Amino acid sequence: MLNFLPDWLVGCIAVTLLALNVVFWVSILFVFSFLKFALPFRPLTRPFDKILLWIAENWIAGNGWWMKLTQRTTWDVQGLDNLNYRGWYLVISNHQSWADIFVLQKLLNRRIPLMKFFLKRELIWVPFMGLAWWALDFPFLRRHSAAYLKKHPEQRGRDFETTRKACMKFTQMPTSVMNFLEGTRFTKTKHGGQDQSYQYLLRPKAGGIALALSVLGEKFHSLLNVTIVYPDGVPTFWGFLCGKVKRVIVRISSLEIPERFLQGDYEGDKEFQTAFQQWVQDLWKDKDAQIAALMQEAGAR
């Protein structure tokens, strides 16, 4: 709607509206979060969970509003039918840009329960956002290198325990557990540092969703496998704010989770771990082929 303006001005308007939306809804979120955590008994806090959910969904809807105002994006989306707002979902996606999060939230908000992301521990210090994610029970994980774990073996498995405790909270009400399996955004540099198993993806990390399944496996309605493609090039966050994303292609498929993976000891059972990793790698090979086909199709238009 505002794309007749210079790109830099659209970006300034977008970042202002984004900031105002954050400050408005997060301020309200903090009030009810304080009341929730001040109460001594879990049964008394449950009504506040619904209030916090309502606030978060309106916050996301506000982002959708300023995106509509500042973006002129053509959306090519398939797979939104037959989603269940009152179900439990395990959601996975490829990851290329900070814009991915806004794409996912715009498409899935109020179609499935609020998505809870696995976040790096350092993100808790992000102004406003870190406390908001904490208040909404997003799991914060410490990611240690292999070298660090070799020197500090007592830290091994700490992330799994943190994730387990977070996922236990999700058993109380419908939740969507969201995980970017690559663990970081795709770049050519990162891709070049790995074996070339995939053309458009980094190697997937299976541990996080394995633990989520071990805790919530029987509750999950299905696995939502999301593929995001920017056929005109992956945008920077500033480019996204400036309205430079002309086309977004999204494919969402609902997959049945193999029953043998609904529960299992990913850390202790090497046979289970190998089989689970193979399943994830097969999903990723299919996604890589899907991206290649979508890129080719988009380029032929």
pLDDT in tens, 209-267: 888 888 887 888 789 999 999 999 999 999 999 999 999 999 999 999 998 898 888 87
Kindly give the parts of the chain with pLDDT less than 50: 300
Q: What confidence tens digit (pLDDT) does each residue in 77-94 have?
A: 999 998 999 989 999 999
- According to DSSP, residue 128 is labeled T
**CA 65, 66, 67: angle at the middle one, nearest 5?**
90
Predicted pLDDT at 267: 77
The pLDDT score that the predictor gives to residue 300 is 45
Q: pTM for the full model?
A: 0.89
Q: How far apart are CA 66 and CA 15, in angstroms?
A: 9
The answer to whether 23 touches 34, Cβ cutoff 8 Å, is no
Q: Residue 255: what are its φ and ψ, rounded to 5°?
A: -115, 145
